[in-house]
Amino acid sequence: MGWATPYIARLLDGETVSFRPRGNSMKGKIASGQLCTVAPVDPQTLQVGDIVLCKVRGNQYLHLIKARRAKQFQIGNNVGHINGWIGPGAIYGKLVSVE
């Protein structure tokens, strides 16, 4: 169970969720502690640059889509780190607002 498990469960039920993630990996796009709202999403509509709640190698992230190839998405943060490639089933929602 990770930090986002309860939010992922609600997204899978079709709910929109809000939370305040901590950390600096998305510095410049999301500051630590800002209120983030994430909505369920059809992965086919996602584009490079979208911020998604996802799971990469067992870790949960609110990170950027850096690239796409076929039905895979490359996930990374906003300070240069790449987490890896995932399929659409590992994406649970898309960031729709930051306050």
Q: Which domains does the chain have, with CATH numbers?
A: 5-98 (2.10.109.10)
| Chain center to CA of 70 | 19
Q: What angle do CA 2, 37, 53 make, to 5 degrees?
A: 40
Q: Report which secondary-structure segment, H or E, holds 19.
A: strand 17-19
Judge whether 53 and 60 are in contact, CB under 8 Å.
yes
| SS3 call for 94 | strand
Q: What is the CA radius of gyration of the chain?
A: 12
Judge whether 57 and 84 are in contact, CB under 8 Å.
yes
Q: What is the pLDDT of residues 63-81, one digit of tens each?
A: 999 999 999 999 999 999 9
pLDDT of residue 59: 97
Q: What angle do CA 39, 41, 46 make, to 5 degrees?
A: 120
pLDDT of residue 1: 79
Low-confidence ranges of the chain (pLDDT < 70): none
Instruction: Enter the pTM of the model.
Output: 0.96
